Amino acid sequence: MVSAGIYLHIPFCRTKCIYCDFYSLPGRDEAIPRFVKTIVEEINRCPVDTGGWVFDTLFIGGGTPSILEPKQVEMILQALSRRFDISGLREITIEANPGEAPEEKLRAFLSLGINRLSLGVQSLEPDLLRFLTRIHDAEAVYTTFRSARKAGFDNINCDLIFAIPGQTIHNWESDLKRITNLGPEHLSIYSLTVEEGTRLHRLVNSGAVAMPTDEESVNRFYSTMEFLAERGFHPYEISNYAVNGKECRHNLHYWTNDPYLGFGPSAHSYDGRQRWRNIPDLDYYMEQIESHQSPVIDRYTLSPREKINEILGFGIRMSEGANLALIPDKYRVRVNTMLDEILEKWEGYLKRENDRLFLTRKGLSFADAIAVDLMLDENPGMD
Ligand code: SF4
């Protein structure tokens, strides 16, 4: 049996944040009832043979899934339990934005079995929240966090962003202090990235906004790690920190190449052999399902080379490292030869211990460059 996850993409949001490249839609709440029926139908008709999988995580993401009414979430959960054996779910996460999830609603989510809350805090500084075009303030963060505790959530993640233009070291340390003082079990901490197609991308390209330098971002990354270590958080993945035992099991599925099924527009799936994704277009997604067509737009089978690249590329981002034992025996010699060269090139940044390949502390800030070097080139014997 292999453990597996389920992801639901709920694309609705109150506004579109300046930096966001997720598939999310403001101003489409009128479509929610139809969307719920559609995603239920997508689940009912899921053709994937999941025999041999044990679903142990469910992640309800988006968008802002807490916009849905508990009754609507319940309808989707019921569809999942009719179509799959979900009796083994141990971690069920829902994402929410500060100020958009009152205690009563959180209590109702908890009563549906949802046992983990992920809060999109991003910052507590008014100017930075304004820059990010977030619509909450610090007070809303405190209120929603406390409401979640009162409702009974004992596993809460807060998302935070660093390397925001105008963010001083003082701002950032103050955010970290105030958030860790609240006592979350998990923190996802990302540097602000400029994704193509976003408003932020246009502003940076036109010269209207200057991003912090790489050196500033790297310094911030290491000082964050030190600060959080003192507060009992360990970085089990390059951007994710948890107190012991509260690592996000769902994300670990992605990073350890486990299978997962995704439902909703833009959701990705992987069955251990193929990857596919749904169209990132709400109307087209609903029309396809309503007319008994598939919402899938890309499907491809991973070659052995691509699988190995994923094992290495995702694996080195985790503190436990890439698991080289997952590489099939017939490719071991080739991979070992490549690794010897890369380990020499990145001496002091990358290390190998038996069947694990790790980044050293110094190597963490070079993760992307090292991952690029680790990617096997095309090879007729492996594709
Ligand atoms: S709330 Fe989250 S998903 Fe929605 S637009 Fe903002 S960053 Fe994107």
List, for residues 331-359, the tens digit of each pLDDT value: 988 899 999 999 999 999 999 999 999 99
Distance CA 235, CA 169 (A): 20
Which residue among 215, 235, 254 closes a domain? Answer: 254
Helix segments in the chain, DSSP class H: 32-44, 70-83, 103-111, 126-131, 138-151, 169-182, 199-205, 214-230, 249-255, 282-290, 304-315, 329-345, 367-374
Tokens linked to 355: 């069947």
How do residues 22-76 score in pLDDT, each as one tens digit?
Answer: 999 999 999 999 999 999 999 999 999 999 999 999 999 999 999 999 999 999 9
80 with 8, same domain: the answer is: yes
Q: Which of 72-76, 176-180, 377-381 has the lowest mean pLDDT?
A: 377-381
In a domain, 281, yes or no: no
Confidence of residue 383 (pLDDT cuts 50, 70, 90): low
Pocket of ligand 1 (CB under 6 A): 13, 16-17, 20, 22, 24, 62-64, 97, 120
Once rounded to an integer, what is the mean pLDDT over residues 117-124? 98
If you write DSSP's letter for every residue of 24-74 in order, what string do you get?
Answer: -EET-GGGHHHHHHHHHHHHHT-----TTEEEEEEEEEES-GGGS-HHHHH
Separation of 20 CA from ligand 1 center, angstroms? Answer: 6
Distance CA 379, CA 377 (A): 6
Q: Is the pLDDT of residue 380 over 60?
A: no
Separation of 80 CA from ligand 1 center, angstroms? Answer: 25
pTM of the predicted protein model: 0.96
Separation of 92 CA from ligand 1 center, angstroms? Answer: 20
In a domain, 99, yes or no: yes
In a domain, 15, yes or no: yes
Confidence of residue 382 (pLDDT cuts 50, 70, 90): low
Separation of 34 CA from ligand 1 center, angstroms? Answer: 21
162 with 57, same domain: the answer is: yes
Q: Beta strand 25-26 with 12-13: parallel, antiparallel or unpaired?
A: parallel
Closest CA to 339 of 321, 351, 326: 351
Nearest CA to ligand 1 atom 6: 17
Q: Which residues span the domain enclosing 50?
A: 2-254
Please provide the average confidence, as pLDDT, over all residues in the chain.
96
Distance CA 170, CA 350 (A): 32
Separation of 264 CA from ligand 1 center, angstroms? Answer: 16
82 with 213, same domain: the answer is: yes
Position in ligand 1 atom list of the atom nearest CA 63: 3
In a domain, 268, yes or no: no
Largest Cα–Cα separation, the chain: 58
Q: Is the pLDDT of residue 155 over 90?
A: yes
**Exposed (0-12), middle (13-18) or buried (19+): which is 366, by Cβ within 10 Å?**
middle
Nearest CA to ligand 1 atom 8: 20
For the chain, the domain total comes to: 2
Q: Is the Cβ–Cβ distance between 311 and 327 less than 8 Å?
A: yes
